[in-house]
Amino acid sequence: MKIALIQINPVIGDFAANCGKIVSSVDRAYAAGCGLAILPELVVSGYPPLDLLERRSFLQDHDGALAKLLEELPPIPVMFGAIERRNEKPGKPLYNSVLVASGSKIVHRTRKQMLPAYDVFDENRYFEPGAPGELFQMEGLTCALTVCEDIWNYAIGDYRTEPLAALFAKAAAQNRHIDVIINVSASPFQRGKRWVRADIFRALVSQYRTPFIYVNQVGGQDSLLFDGGSLAYNGKGEITAQALCFEEDMVFLDSDSWKGDMRPNEPAGEVVSVHDALVMGVRDYVRKSGFKKVVLGLSGGIDSALTAVLAVRALGAQNVLGVALPSPYSSADSLEDARDLAGRCGCRFEVLPISALFESYRSSLSDLFAGMAEDVTEQNIQARIRGNLLMALSNKLGHLLLTTGNKSEMAVGYCTLYGDMSGGLAVISDVPKQLVYELARYINRDEEIIPHRILVKPPTAELRPDQRDQDDLPPYELLDEILELYLEQGVGKDEIISRGFDNAIVEDIIRRIRINEYKRKQAPMGLKVTSKAFGFGRRLPNVQNYRG
Protein backbone atom coordinates (compact mmCIF):
# COMPACT_ATOMS: atom_id res chain seq x y z
CA MET A 1 0.00 0.00 0.00
CA LYS A 2 1.16 3.52 -0.79
CA ILE A 3 0.99 5.87 2.20
CA ALA A 4 1.08 9.69 2.11
CA LEU A 5 2.78 11.58 4.95
CA ILE A 6 1.29 15.08 4.75
CA GLN A 7 2.57 18.01 6.82
CA ILE A 8 0.56 21.20 6.43
CA ASN A 9 0.73 24.65 8.00
CA PRO A 10 -2.65 25.37 9.62
CA VAL A 11 -3.92 28.64 11.10
CA ILE A 12 -5.57 28.27 14.47
CA GLY A 13 -9.33 28.68 14.17
CA ASP A 14 -9.38 29.09 10.38
CA PHE A 15 -11.42 25.94 9.91
CA ALA A 16 -12.32 26.57 6.29
CA ALA A 17 -8.71 27.14 5.22
CA ASN A 18 -7.37 24.25 7.27
CA CYS A 19 -9.95 21.80 5.98
CA GLY A 20 -9.41 23.09 2.45
CA LYS A 21 -5.71 22.23 2.77
CA ILE A 22 -6.55 18.81 4.16
CA VAL A 23 -8.94 17.98 1.33
CA SER A 24 -6.68 19.26 -1.45
CA SER A 25 -3.64 17.41 -0.10
CA VAL A 26 -5.56 14.16 0.39
CA ASP A 27 -7.01 14.56 -3.11
CA ARG A 28 -3.45 14.67 -4.45
CA ALA A 29 -2.53 11.61 -2.42
CA TYR A 30 -5.56 9.75 -3.74
CA ALA A 31 -4.73 10.75 -7.32
CA ALA A 32 -1.19 9.44 -6.76
CA GLY A 33 -2.59 6.02 -5.84
CA CYS A 34 -2.29 6.20 -2.06
CA GLY A 35 -4.36 3.91 0.12
CA LEU A 36 -3.77 5.91 3.32
CA ALA A 37 -3.09 9.59 4.13
CA ILE A 38 -1.73 10.76 7.49
CA LEU A 39 -1.86 14.37 8.73
CA PRO A 40 -0.71 16.09 11.96
CA GLU A 41 -2.19 16.46 15.43
CA LEU A 42 -5.23 18.79 15.84
CA VAL A 43 -4.89 19.75 12.20
CA VAL A 44 -8.54 20.75 11.87
CA SER A 45 -8.23 23.50 14.48
CA GLY A 46 -4.49 24.14 14.39
CA TYR A 47 -2.26 23.58 17.39
CA PRO A 48 -2.27 24.82 20.12
CA PRO A 49 -5.72 26.45 20.32
CA LEU A 50 -5.30 27.25 24.05
CA ASP A 51 -8.29 28.98 25.68
CA LEU A 52 -10.25 29.01 22.42
CA LEU A 53 -11.09 25.50 23.59
CA GLU A 54 -13.17 27.09 26.36
CA ARG A 55 -15.42 28.89 23.86
CA ARG A 56 -18.62 27.04 22.94
CA SER A 57 -18.73 28.80 19.57
CA PHE A 58 -15.21 27.60 18.72
CA LEU A 59 -16.12 24.00 19.50
CA GLN A 60 -19.39 24.24 17.55
CA ASP A 61 -17.58 25.65 14.52
CA HIS A 62 -14.95 22.91 14.82
CA ASP A 63 -17.67 20.25 14.87
CA GLY A 64 -19.34 21.77 11.83
CA ALA A 65 -16.04 21.91 9.94
CA LEU A 66 -15.29 18.30 10.87
CA ALA A 67 -18.68 17.10 9.62
CA LYS A 68 -18.16 18.93 6.32
CA LEU A 69 -14.61 17.59 6.03
CA LEU A 70 -15.80 14.00 6.37
CA GLU A 71 -18.16 14.53 3.43
CA GLU A 72 -15.45 16.05 1.22
CA LEU A 73 -12.56 13.64 1.75
CA PRO A 74 -11.81 11.20 -1.07
CA PRO A 75 -12.56 7.47 -0.54
CA ILE A 76 -9.32 6.42 1.20
CA PRO A 77 -8.63 6.13 4.93
CA VAL A 78 -7.33 9.43 6.35
CA MET A 79 -5.70 9.81 9.79
CA PHE A 80 -5.81 13.32 11.23
CA GLY A 81 -5.92 15.14 14.54
CA ALA A 82 -9.16 16.71 15.79
CA ILE A 83 -10.96 17.75 18.97
CA GLU A 84 -13.55 15.36 20.38
CA ARG A 85 -16.25 16.22 22.90
CA ARG A 86 -16.52 14.32 26.16
CA ASN A 87 -19.81 14.46 28.08
CA GLU A 88 -18.96 12.33 31.10
CA LYS A 89 -18.26 13.82 34.52
CA PRO A 90 -15.95 14.30 36.32
CA GLY A 91 -13.04 15.33 34.13
CA LYS A 92 -12.21 17.72 31.33
CA PRO A 93 -14.76 18.11 28.52
CA LEU A 94 -12.50 17.33 25.55
CA TYR A 95 -10.17 14.74 24.05
CA ASN A 96 -7.16 15.41 21.86
CA SER A 97 -7.84 12.70 19.30
CA VAL A 98 -6.56 11.19 16.09
CA LEU A 99 -9.45 10.07 13.91
CA VAL A 100 -9.41 7.68 10.99
CA ALA A 101 -12.02 8.63 8.42
CA SER A 102 -13.17 6.46 5.55
CA GLY A 103 -16.31 6.63 3.42
CA SER A 104 -17.50 9.82 5.17
CA LYS A 105 -17.41 8.08 8.54
CA ILE A 106 -15.04 7.87 11.48
CA VAL A 107 -13.93 4.24 11.58
CA HIS A 108 -11.30 4.48 14.33
CA ARG A 109 -10.21 6.89 17.03
CA THR A 110 -7.21 7.11 19.34
CA ARG A 111 -7.21 9.63 22.18
CA LYS A 112 -4.03 11.17 23.51
CA GLN A 113 -3.10 9.73 26.89
CA MET A 114 0.03 11.68 27.84
CA LEU A 115 -1.01 15.34 28.17
CA PRO A 116 2.15 17.44 28.60
CA ALA A 117 2.09 20.18 31.24
CA TYR A 118 5.65 21.50 31.12
CA ASP A 119 7.36 24.42 29.36
CA VAL A 120 4.92 25.76 26.71
CA PHE A 121 2.46 22.89 27.09
CA ASP A 122 -0.71 23.01 29.17
CA GLU A 123 -2.86 20.29 27.66
CA ASN A 124 -4.28 18.96 30.91
CA ARG A 125 -5.93 22.36 31.33
CA TYR A 126 -8.32 21.43 28.50
CA PHE A 127 -8.17 17.71 27.71
CA GLU A 128 -8.97 14.50 29.51
CA PRO A 129 -6.44 11.67 29.04
CA GLY A 130 -7.73 9.02 26.70
CA ALA A 131 -8.20 5.38 27.65
CA PRO A 132 -5.67 2.82 26.37
CA GLY A 133 -5.94 2.64 22.61
CA GLU A 134 -7.03 -0.15 20.34
CA LEU A 135 -5.15 -1.59 17.37
CA PHE A 136 -6.35 -0.47 13.96
CA GLN A 137 -6.61 -2.94 11.09
CA MET A 138 -6.49 -1.66 7.52
CA GLU A 139 -5.68 -3.31 4.18
CA GLY A 140 -3.87 -6.16 5.88
CA LEU A 141 -1.84 -3.83 8.14
CA THR A 142 -2.19 -3.78 11.91
CA CYS A 143 -1.37 -0.26 13.12
CA ALA A 144 -0.40 1.00 16.57
CA LEU A 145 -1.60 4.62 16.46
CA THR A 146 -0.21 7.15 18.96
CA VAL A 147 -0.52 10.90 19.48
CA CYS A 148 2.66 12.99 19.87
CA GLU A 149 3.61 12.84 23.58
CA ASP A 150 2.41 9.23 23.86
CA ILE A 151 5.86 8.03 22.76
CA TRP A 152 7.90 10.57 24.78
CA ASN A 153 8.33 8.30 27.79
CA TYR A 154 11.67 7.47 26.14
CA ALA A 155 12.82 11.03 26.91
CA ILE A 156 10.67 12.00 29.91
CA GLY A 157 10.87 9.57 32.76
CA ASP A 158 7.99 10.75 34.96
CA TYR A 159 5.10 9.27 32.99
CA ARG A 160 3.40 6.38 34.78
CA THR A 161 2.02 4.67 31.71
CA GLU A 162 3.47 3.77 28.33
CA PRO A 163 0.76 3.81 25.65
CA LEU A 164 2.92 2.10 23.04
CA ALA A 165 3.94 -0.71 25.40
CA ALA A 166 0.26 -1.23 26.22
CA LEU A 167 -0.60 -1.60 22.53
CA PHE A 168 2.11 -4.21 22.02
CA ALA A 169 0.96 -6.07 25.14
CA LYS A 170 -2.57 -6.05 23.75
CA ALA A 171 -1.32 -7.38 20.42
CA ALA A 172 0.55 -10.19 22.18
CA ALA A 173 -2.54 -11.09 24.23
CA GLN A 174 -4.57 -11.29 21.01
CA ASN A 175 -1.83 -13.21 19.19
CA ARG A 176 -1.54 -10.41 16.64
CA HIS A 177 1.48 -8.82 14.97
CA ILE A 178 1.82 -5.03 14.76
CA ASP A 179 3.03 -4.02 11.30
CA VAL A 180 3.65 -0.31 11.86
CA ILE A 181 3.74 2.30 14.63
CA ILE A 182 2.23 5.65 13.64
CA ASN A 183 2.73 8.87 15.59
CA VAL A 184 0.66 11.94 14.69
CA SER A 185 2.29 15.07 16.16
CA ALA A 186 2.46 18.80 16.63
CA SER A 187 5.95 18.89 18.10
CA PRO A 188 7.55 22.36 18.29
CA PHE A 189 11.10 23.07 17.19
CA GLN A 190 13.89 24.03 19.53
CA ARG A 191 17.64 24.02 19.13
CA GLY A 192 18.90 20.44 19.40
CA LYS A 193 15.45 18.84 19.55
CA ARG A 194 15.84 16.87 16.34
CA TRP A 195 18.57 14.85 18.05
CA VAL A 196 16.26 14.16 21.01
CA ARG A 197 13.53 13.03 18.65
CA ALA A 198 15.96 10.84 16.71
CA ASP A 199 17.01 9.11 19.94
CA ILE A 200 13.37 8.47 20.84
CA PHE A 201 12.51 7.12 17.41
CA ARG A 202 15.57 4.85 17.26
CA ALA A 203 14.88 3.57 20.76
CA LEU A 204 11.29 2.55 20.03
CA VAL A 205 12.18 0.97 16.67
CA SER A 206 15.04 -0.91 18.32
CA GLN A 207 12.79 -2.14 21.11
CA TYR A 208 9.90 -3.30 18.92
CA ARG A 209 11.67 -4.07 15.61
CA THR A 210 8.72 -2.47 13.86
CA PRO A 211 8.50 0.19 11.13
CA PHE A 212 7.62 3.65 12.42
CA ILE A 213 5.89 6.65 10.82
CA TYR A 214 6.01 10.19 12.26
CA VAL A 215 3.90 13.04 10.81
CA ASN A 216 4.46 16.50 12.28
CA GLN A 217 2.87 19.92 11.93
CA VAL A 218 4.87 22.66 10.19
CA GLY A 219 4.71 26.45 10.46
CA GLY A 220 4.89 29.30 12.94
CA GLN A 221 2.15 29.75 15.51
CA ASP A 222 2.74 32.75 17.76
CA SER A 223 6.06 32.04 19.50
CA LEU A 224 6.07 28.33 18.61
CA LEU A 225 7.84 27.11 15.48
CA PHE A 226 6.89 23.69 14.09
CA ASP A 227 9.58 22.19 11.91
CA GLY A 228 7.73 19.39 10.11
CA GLY A 229 10.42 16.87 9.22
CA SER A 230 7.92 14.01 8.95
CA LEU A 231 9.66 10.70 8.37
CA ALA A 232 9.56 6.92 8.42
CA TYR A 233 11.89 4.20 9.71
CA ASN A 234 12.00 0.59 8.67
CA GLY A 235 12.21 -2.16 11.27
CA LYS A 236 16.01 -2.02 11.18
CA GLY A 237 16.07 1.56 12.42
CA GLU A 238 16.95 3.11 9.05
CA ILE A 239 15.26 6.29 7.86
CA THR A 240 13.46 5.36 4.65
CA ALA A 241 11.28 8.41 3.96
CA GLN A 242 11.70 12.02 4.97
CA ALA A 243 9.88 15.29 4.34
CA LEU A 244 11.30 18.78 4.28
CA CYS A 245 11.82 20.85 7.40
CA PHE A 246 10.12 24.23 7.79
CA GLU A 247 7.97 23.81 4.66
CA GLU A 248 4.67 22.18 3.79
CA ASP A 249 5.38 18.86 2.12
CA MET A 250 4.01 15.45 1.18
CA VAL A 251 6.09 12.30 0.85
CA PHE A 252 5.03 8.82 -0.20
CA LEU A 253 5.93 5.52 1.45
CA ASP A 254 5.43 1.93 0.25
CA SER A 255 4.31 -0.45 3.00
CA ASP A 256 5.68 -3.48 1.14
CA SER A 257 9.29 -2.28 1.36
CA TRP A 258 8.86 0.57 3.87
CA LYS A 259 10.81 2.74 1.45
CA GLY A 260 9.71 6.16 0.25
CA ASP A 261 10.67 9.67 -0.79
CA MET A 262 13.81 11.11 0.76
CA ARG A 263 14.01 14.90 0.68
CA PRO A 264 17.42 16.57 1.10
CA ASN A 265 16.73 17.23 4.74
CA GLU A 266 19.88 17.06 6.83
CA PRO A 267 20.90 20.61 7.81
CA ALA A 268 24.63 21.20 8.15
CA GLY A 269 24.15 21.99 11.83
CA GLU A 270 22.10 23.65 14.50
CA VAL A 271 22.74 27.16 13.20
CA VAL A 272 21.12 26.33 9.85
CA SER A 273 18.02 24.99 11.58
CA VAL A 274 17.71 28.07 13.80
CA HIS A 275 18.10 30.33 10.76
CA ASP A 276 15.40 28.46 8.81
CA ALA A 277 13.11 28.38 11.85
CA LEU A 278 13.38 32.14 12.39
CA VAL A 279 12.74 32.91 8.72
CA MET A 280 9.64 30.72 8.79
CA GLY A 281 8.54 32.23 12.11
CA VAL A 282 8.77 35.81 10.86
CA ARG A 283 6.94 34.98 7.64
CA ASP A 284 4.12 33.12 9.34
CA TYR A 285 3.61 35.53 12.22
CA VAL A 286 3.52 38.58 9.96
CA ARG A 287 1.24 37.03 7.35
CA LYS A 288 -1.04 35.13 9.71
CA SER A 289 -1.50 38.35 11.70
CA GLY A 290 -2.71 40.14 8.58
CA PHE A 291 0.38 42.27 7.87
CA LYS A 292 2.33 42.44 4.63
CA LYS A 293 5.22 44.72 5.54
CA VAL A 294 7.51 45.34 8.51
CA VAL A 295 9.59 48.20 9.86
CA LEU A 296 12.60 48.04 12.17
CA GLY A 297 15.31 50.29 13.52
CA LEU A 298 18.75 49.81 11.94
CA SER A 299 21.45 50.90 14.37
CA GLY A 300 24.45 49.67 12.45
CA GLY A 301 24.86 46.89 15.04
CA ILE A 302 24.80 43.13 14.72
CA ASP A 303 21.36 42.49 16.25
CA SER A 304 19.41 44.82 13.97
CA ALA A 305 21.46 43.62 11.00
CA LEU A 306 20.55 39.99 11.65
CA THR A 307 16.89 40.86 12.21
CA ALA A 308 16.77 42.79 8.94
CA VAL A 309 18.28 39.93 6.93
CA LEU A 310 15.84 37.43 8.45
CA ALA A 311 12.92 39.75 7.64
CA VAL A 312 14.05 40.22 4.04
CA ARG A 313 14.40 36.46 3.59
CA ALA A 314 10.99 35.88 5.13
CA LEU A 315 9.00 38.61 3.39
CA GLY A 316 11.03 39.95 0.46
CA ALA A 317 13.11 43.12 0.41
CA GLN A 318 10.20 45.17 -0.93
CA ASN A 319 8.29 44.52 2.29
CA VAL A 320 10.98 45.65 4.75
CA LEU A 321 11.66 49.23 5.84
CA GLY A 322 14.85 49.92 7.79
CA VAL A 323 15.15 53.19 9.69
CA ALA A 324 18.30 54.67 11.19
CA LEU A 325 17.66 57.00 14.14
CA PRO A 326 21.03 58.57 14.94
CA SER A 327 21.48 60.40 18.26
CA PRO A 328 24.21 62.84 19.32
CA TYR A 329 26.29 59.82 20.35
CA SER A 330 25.88 57.78 17.17
CA SER A 331 29.07 57.38 15.18
CA ALA A 332 29.32 58.09 11.49
CA ASP A 333 30.39 54.47 11.06
CA SER A 334 27.11 53.21 12.48
CA LEU A 335 25.01 55.20 10.02
CA GLU A 336 27.26 54.10 7.16
CA ASP A 337 26.98 50.46 8.23
CA ALA A 338 23.18 50.65 8.51
CA ARG A 339 22.94 52.17 5.03
CA ASP A 340 25.38 49.60 3.65
CA LEU A 341 23.39 46.72 5.13
CA ALA A 342 20.10 48.01 3.69
CA GLY A 343 21.76 48.35 0.29
CA ARG A 344 23.07 44.81 0.40
CA CYS A 345 19.63 43.51 1.45
CA GLY A 346 17.81 45.65 -1.10
CA CYS A 347 15.28 47.02 1.39
CA ARG A 348 14.05 50.59 1.75
CA PHE A 349 16.18 52.74 4.06
CA GLU A 350 15.34 56.03 5.77
CA VAL A 351 17.12 58.26 8.31
CA LEU A 352 15.30 60.04 11.16
CA PRO A 353 17.80 61.92 13.39
CA ILE A 354 16.67 62.27 17.00
CA SER A 355 19.13 64.90 18.30
CA ALA A 356 16.65 67.78 18.14
CA LEU A 357 13.94 65.76 19.88
CA PHE A 358 16.42 64.67 22.54
CA GLU A 359 17.37 68.29 23.20
CA SER A 360 13.68 69.18 23.47
CA TYR A 361 13.20 66.49 26.12
CA ARG A 362 16.22 67.69 28.08
CA SER A 363 15.01 71.25 27.90
CA SER A 364 11.54 70.31 29.14
CA LEU A 365 13.01 68.40 32.07
CA SER A 366 15.85 70.78 32.89
CA ASP A 367 14.17 72.50 35.84
CA LEU A 368 13.14 69.25 37.49
CA PHE A 369 16.56 67.69 36.79
CA ALA A 370 18.55 70.72 37.89
CA GLY A 371 21.73 69.79 39.77
CA MET A 372 21.50 66.12 38.80
CA ALA A 373 24.15 64.44 36.66
CA GLU A 374 23.16 62.70 33.46
CA ASP A 375 22.72 58.94 33.90
CA VAL A 376 20.71 56.07 32.45
CA THR A 377 17.66 58.35 32.40
CA GLU A 378 18.97 60.28 29.44
CA GLN A 379 19.97 57.03 27.72
CA ASN A 380 16.44 55.70 28.11
CA ILE A 381 14.95 58.92 26.76
CA GLN A 382 16.84 58.37 23.51
CA ALA A 383 15.61 54.78 23.28
CA ARG A 384 12.03 55.89 23.93
CA ILE A 385 12.20 58.63 21.30
CA ARG A 386 13.27 55.98 18.81
CA GLY A 387 10.51 53.65 19.96
CA ASN A 388 7.89 56.38 19.54
CA LEU A 389 9.06 57.25 16.04
CA LEU A 390 9.12 53.64 14.94
CA MET A 391 5.65 53.03 16.39
CA ALA A 392 4.40 56.12 14.55
CA LEU A 393 5.70 54.68 11.30
CA SER A 394 4.11 51.34 12.16
CA ASN A 395 0.74 52.99 12.81
CA LYS A 396 0.75 55.31 9.81
CA LEU A 397 2.16 52.87 7.25
CA GLY A 398 0.49 49.70 8.57
CA HIS A 399 3.83 47.94 9.01
CA LEU A 400 4.47 45.55 11.89
CA LEU A 401 7.35 46.82 14.04
CA LEU A 402 10.06 44.23 14.68
CA THR A 403 12.20 44.59 17.79
CA THR A 404 15.83 43.58 17.56
CA GLY A 405 17.04 42.71 21.09
CA ASN A 406 18.71 39.34 21.73
CA LYS A 407 18.19 36.87 24.58
CA SER A 408 21.36 37.81 26.47
CA GLU A 409 20.20 41.43 26.74
CA MET A 410 16.63 40.46 27.59
CA ALA A 411 17.86 38.15 30.34
CA VAL A 412 19.72 40.87 32.24
CA GLY A 413 17.39 43.76 31.42
CA TYR A 414 19.81 45.51 29.05
CA CYS A 415 16.86 47.01 27.19
CA THR A 416 14.40 49.87 27.62
CA LEU A 417 10.69 49.54 28.24
CA TYR A 418 8.70 51.57 25.69
CA GLY A 419 11.96 52.15 23.83
CA ASP A 420 13.89 49.45 22.00
CA MET A 421 11.36 46.95 23.41
CA SER A 422 8.49 48.59 21.50
CA GLY A 423 7.03 46.50 18.73
CA GLY A 424 4.88 43.57 17.70
CA LEU A 425 7.39 40.75 17.32
CA ALA A 426 10.76 40.20 19.01
CA VAL A 427 12.47 38.18 16.30
CA ILE A 428 15.73 37.20 18.08
CA SER A 429 14.69 37.54 21.73
CA ASP A 430 15.41 33.82 22.23
CA VAL A 431 18.77 33.97 20.43
CA PRO A 432 21.80 34.36 22.74
CA LYS A 433 24.43 36.87 21.63
CA GLN A 434 26.99 34.27 20.60
CA LEU A 435 24.40 32.54 18.43
CA VAL A 436 23.63 35.94 16.86
CA TYR A 437 27.21 36.03 15.60
CA GLU A 438 27.05 32.42 14.43
CA LEU A 439 23.90 33.17 12.45
CA ALA A 440 25.53 36.24 10.93
CA ARG A 441 28.57 34.22 9.84
CA TYR A 442 26.26 31.59 8.33
CA ILE A 443 24.42 34.31 6.38
CA ASN A 444 27.78 35.57 5.08
CA ARG A 445 29.06 32.12 4.13
CA ASP A 446 28.87 32.73 0.37
CA GLU A 447 28.79 36.52 0.11
CA GLU A 448 29.09 39.49 2.45
CA ILE A 449 25.51 40.44 3.21
CA ILE A 450 26.12 41.74 6.73
CA PRO A 451 29.04 44.19 6.39
CA HIS A 452 32.26 42.91 7.90
CA ARG A 453 32.64 45.98 10.11
CA ILE A 454 29.34 45.16 11.84
CA LEU A 455 30.68 41.70 12.69
CA VAL A 456 33.94 42.92 14.21
CA LYS A 457 33.00 46.16 15.97
CA PRO A 458 32.48 46.02 19.78
CA PRO A 459 28.75 45.93 20.58
CA THR A 460 27.41 49.29 21.77
CA ALA A 461 24.06 50.98 22.36
CA GLU A 462 25.66 54.40 21.59
CA LEU A 463 23.56 56.20 24.19
CA ARG A 464 26.49 58.00 25.84
CA PRO A 465 29.99 58.97 24.68
CA ASP A 466 32.24 56.01 23.85
CA GLN A 467 29.77 53.50 25.31
CA ARG A 468 30.43 49.76 24.98
CA ASP A 469 28.18 46.91 26.14
CA GLN A 470 31.14 45.43 28.01
CA ASP A 471 31.25 48.54 30.23
CA ASP A 472 27.99 47.35 31.81
CA LEU A 473 28.01 43.59 31.19
CA PRO A 474 30.45 40.69 31.44
CA PRO A 475 31.92 39.53 28.11
CA TYR A 476 29.11 37.95 26.11
CA GLU A 477 30.97 34.64 25.90
CA LEU A 478 30.92 34.42 29.69
CA LEU A 479 27.42 35.84 30.06
CA ASP A 480 25.92 33.34 27.60
CA GLU A 481 27.63 30.41 29.32
CA ILE A 482 26.16 31.38 32.70
CA LEU A 483 22.73 32.10 31.18
CA GLU A 484 22.71 28.68 29.51
CA LEU A 485 23.36 26.99 32.85
CA TYR A 486 20.93 29.08 34.86
CA LEU A 487 18.03 29.55 32.43
CA GLU A 488 18.03 26.45 30.26
CA GLN A 489 19.64 23.79 32.43
CA GLY A 490 18.18 25.04 35.72
CA VAL A 491 21.53 25.00 37.53
CA GLY A 492 21.52 27.00 40.79
CA LYS A 493 23.87 29.79 41.81
CA ASP A 494 26.08 27.76 44.15
CA GLU A 495 26.62 25.00 41.62
CA ILE A 496 27.48 27.50 38.87
CA ILE A 497 30.07 29.09 41.15
CA SER A 498 31.45 25.65 42.05
CA ARG A 499 32.16 25.12 38.35
CA GLY A 500 34.74 27.90 38.48
CA PHE A 501 32.76 31.02 37.65
CA ASP A 502 33.46 34.19 39.59
CA ASN A 503 31.15 34.60 42.56
CA ALA A 504 30.49 38.32 42.06
CA ILE A 505 29.74 37.93 38.35
CA VAL A 506 27.31 35.06 38.95
CA GLU A 507 25.57 36.93 41.76
CA ASP A 508 25.20 40.03 39.59
CA ILE A 509 23.82 38.15 36.58
CA ILE A 510 21.26 36.27 38.66
CA ARG A 511 20.26 39.51 40.40
CA ARG A 512 19.71 41.17 37.03
CA ILE A 513 17.64 38.24 35.78
CA ARG A 514 15.48 38.36 38.89
CA ILE A 515 14.81 42.10 39.03
CA ASN A 516 14.01 42.43 35.31
CA GLU A 517 11.20 39.91 35.12
CA TYR A 518 8.71 42.79 34.98
CA LYS A 519 10.32 44.04 31.76
CA ARG A 520 10.07 40.69 30.04
CA LYS A 521 6.39 40.39 30.99
CA GLN A 522 5.78 43.57 28.95
CA ALA A 523 7.98 42.62 26.02
CA PRO A 524 6.66 41.71 22.56
CA MET A 525 6.24 38.04 21.84
CA GLY A 526 9.42 36.32 20.65
CA LEU A 527 10.13 33.29 18.49
CA LYS A 528 11.15 30.25 20.54
CA VAL A 529 14.32 28.45 19.44
CA THR A 530 15.86 27.30 22.74
CA SER A 531 14.66 24.87 25.37
CA LYS A 532 13.52 27.66 27.70
CA ALA A 533 12.40 30.92 26.13
CA PHE A 534 11.03 33.99 27.86
CA GLY A 535 7.27 34.01 27.48
CA PHE A 536 4.37 31.78 28.49
CA GLY A 537 6.62 28.74 28.81
CA ARG A 538 8.58 30.40 31.65
CA ARG A 539 6.30 31.32 34.52
CA LEU A 540 7.93 33.27 37.34
CA PRO A 541 6.53 35.96 39.65
CA ASN A 542 7.63 39.54 39.06
CA VAL A 543 7.96 40.14 42.78
CA GLN A 544 10.11 37.52 44.49
CA ASN A 545 13.36 37.45 46.37
CA TYR A 546 14.81 34.00 45.77
CA ARG A 547 18.50 34.46 44.99
CA GLY A 548 19.64 30.89 44.33
Is residue 519 one of the residues assigned to a domain?
Answer: no
CB 186 within 8 A of CB 216: yes
165 and 189 inside one domain = yes
- Element holding 519 (H helix, E strand): helix 517-521
Is residue 520 one of the residues assigned to a domain?
Answer: no
252 and 292 inside one domain = no
Q: What is the pTM of this model?
A: 0.96
Say which of 19, 21, 41, 462 is annotated catalytic: 41
209 and 87 inside one domain = yes
Strands of 105-111's sheet, edge to edge?
105-111, 94-102, 78-85, 36-38, 2-7, 249-254, 259-260
Strands of 320-324's sheet, edge to edge?
348-351, 320-324, 294-297, 400-403, 425-426
Say which of 19, 34, 148, 415 is annotated catalytic: 148
35 and 89 inside one domain = yes
In the annotation, is 148 catalytic? Answer: yes
Q: What residue type is 427 in one-letter code?
A: V
140 and 55 inside one domain = yes
Structural domains in the chain (count):
2
253 and 312 inside one domain = no
125 and 146 inside one domain = yes
Q: Which of 261, 282, 310 is the last residue of a domain?
A: 261
238 and 361 inside one domain = no
Say which of 19, 34, 84, 112 is annotated catalytic: 112
d(CA 391, CA 400): 9
Q: Helices 302-315 & 332-345, crossing angle to 10 degrees? A: 20
210 and 122 inside one domain = yes
CB 107 within 8 A of CB 98: no
Is residue 267 one of the residues assigned to a domain?
Answer: no
338 and 410 inside one domain = yes
CB 20 within 8 A of CB 69: no
The CATH number of residue 387's host domain is 3.40.50.620
Q: Could you please report the per-residue DSSP string of 19-70?
A: HHHHHHHHHHHHHTT-SEEE--TTTTT-S--GGGGG-HHHHHHHHHHHHHHH
Q: Which of 470, 495, 517 is the last residue of a domain?
A: 470
d(CA 4, CA 260): 10
Q: Which of 213, 232, 261 is the last residue of a domain?
A: 261
Residue-by-residue pLDDT tens, the chain, 548 positions:
999 999 999 999 999 999 999 999 999 999 999 999 999 999 999 999 999 999 999 999 999 999 999 999 999 999 999 999 998 889 999 999 999 999 999 999 999 999 998 899 999 999 999 999 999 999 889 999 999 999 998 888 777 889 999 999 999 999 999 999 999 999 999 999 989 999 999 999 999 999 999 999 999 999 999 999 999 999 999 999 999 999 999 999 999 999 999 997 665 689 999 999 999 999 999 999 999 999 999 999 999 999 999 999 999 999 999 999 999 999 999 999 999 999 999 999 999 999 999 999 999 999 999 999 999 999 999 999 999 999 999 999 999 999 999 999 999 999 999 999 999 999 999 999 999 999 999 999 999 999 999 999 988 877 888 778 787 889 999 999 999 999 999 999 999 999 999 999 999 999 999 999 999 999 999 999 999 999 888 888 998 888 88
- Burial of 332 per CB tally in 10 Å (0-12, 13-18, 19+): exposed
Is residue 131 one of the residues assigned to a domain?
Answer: yes
198 and 251 inside one domain = yes
The CATH number of residue 71's host domain is 3.60.110.10
237 and 363 inside one domain = no
Q: Which domain holds residue 406?
A: 272-470
